Amino acid sequence: MAYDLRPAPRTVTDWDDDRRKERLRETRSGGGRTPRRSVVQLGVALLAVVIVCTQYWVYDVAPERARLASTHPQVHHIYDAQDPLDQDTAVVDLVGLGNLDASATAMALPSFTRIGQVWAVQYDNSGLDTAVISRIIAQHALREGVDRIVLAGHSMGGIIALEVAEHIAEDTDLELKAVILDCTPINLHAVRAQSRDAGEDMLRWMGWLPGARESRSLRLLVETVARKDRYLFPSSGHNRFVDLGELTHVVDEVMHKKILSKNTASNGLIESQFRAIVASGAQDDLETLTSGDNSPAFVFLRPTFGDADPVVDVDYSQRALFEHTGGPDGRLLVVRMPGTGHANPGQQPVLYNRAIEDAIDPFLTELELRDGDSAVADAAAGRDRGAP
């Protein structure tokens, strides 16, 4: 069956001016008040966003920014040397990503007193500057009568230690005795994929979100989500089960340990620490430190098996270190510690202190004796050459 869809013909008598005006009102821009209402709703939404952003900046970002502006790096004295004759040597401890102050780590390693005094570096919470860190170490050494320095860096702190070592070797009169690297990633390739991706995501957030370097509310959100395996569990289908009790516990833990604590690394410091890994010149630092006649010793601490470190590919780092500092006449000691994970002296102090006593201290003593014998031999050879 066919239908005639053409409009029915209208005669002149069907025309109505009132109907024409009504039709114009219905079809004009803004008819039915829909766009006008949308504009009002959009304005209200924008006002709400402005209010929230103002509160975020005034009460979250600005106070933290003001606090961070007043922070500065420091060196803390932890222990004196076990032997008073070793008071002219200091072991300076530096911690890794997400940490601010190395004091607790240094306190867990009293065996370092067999080498000399023990100091801990507290970073500037607004960011990293290795030249400034090396300068305050040199100033502290001058005050304490210290002539020789051993730098110990845990995880990413090892990258900082290598940069500081280069500054100390080139810009000060201090003798750089050794650099101890604990599960340190020599470059970004040594960081395992999951940790590397998390760090790169953080850099993206920092880049586009205003105030992200200082925001405590964003830190609370990110730290809580990072612990989701403790309160979020799979359920039927694609659903997830949330343990509200554990979620409350996680939020309370993050608030006290990461937000309210004054000893926690800020977002900005964590960003600076990860950028130090991304832009790591550790291999260049190694080349500089090993190119002179007074090359320091290098010690690499790692778990016995590489898979025990979930953050850093320690096998990769060890190979890179060996290329620059190993060999028959090399000055590299690799210490494999059973039962350890990623740079965790605070959790395994017994194993770390045993490694210092049984391996690191004897190695440095042996090198010192060897270097002393070489110096004596060189001096004797010089006298022989100068003899008539």
Q: Which tens digit of pLDDT belongs to each residue from 334-362? A: 999 999 999 999 999 999 999 999 999 99
Distance CA 55, CA 61 (A): 9
Distance CA 169, CA 75 (A): 19
Residue among 174, 203, 375 nearest 279 (CA): 203
User: Which of 91-95, 146-150, 294-298, 370-374 shows the lowest per-residue confidence on average (mean pLDDT)?
Assistant: 370-374
Q: Which two tokens stand for residue 51?
A: 């209010």
Distance CA 344, CA 284 (A): 27
Residue 77, beta-bridge partner list: 119
Q: What are phi and psi of 178, to 5 degrees?
A: -165, 160
13's CB contacts (< 8 A; 6+ apart) are none
Distance CA 370, CA 354 (A): 24
pLDDT given for residue 299 in this prediction: 96
Half-sphere exposure of 337 (CA within 13 A, CB side): 29
Half-sphere exposure of 6 (CA within 13 A, CB side): 4
pLDDT at 383 over 60: no
Predicted confidence band at 386 (pLDDT cuts at 50, 70, 90)?
A: very low
Q: What are phi and psi of 78, to 5 degrees?
A: -105, -55
Full-model pTM: 0.73
pLDDT given for residue 44 in this prediction: 83
Residue among 184, 195, 190 nearest 334 (CA): 184
Distance CA 252, CA 104 (A): 23
Q: Which tens digit of pLDDT belongs to each residue from 33-81? A: 566 777 778 888 888 888 887 876 776 766 666 665 656 789 999 999 9
What is the average pLDDT across 245-255? 85
Q: What is the DSSP string of 284-326?
A: HHHHHHHHSSSPPEEEEEEESSGGG-SSB-HHHHHHHHHHHH-
Distance CA 212, CA 56 (A): 11
Between these two residues, 166 and 20, which has the higher pLDDT value?
166
Residue 297, beta-bridge partner list: 178
Q: Which tens digit of pLDDT belongs to each residue from 283-333? A: 788 888 888 777 899 999 999 999 999 999 999 999 989 888 866 667 899
- Residue 228 has a CB neighbour count (10 Å cut-off) of 13
Predicted confidence band at 380 (pLDDT cuts at 50, 70, 90)?
A: very low
pLDDT given for residue 217 in this prediction: 76
pLDDT given for residue 385 in this prediction: 42
Average pLDDT for the chain: 80
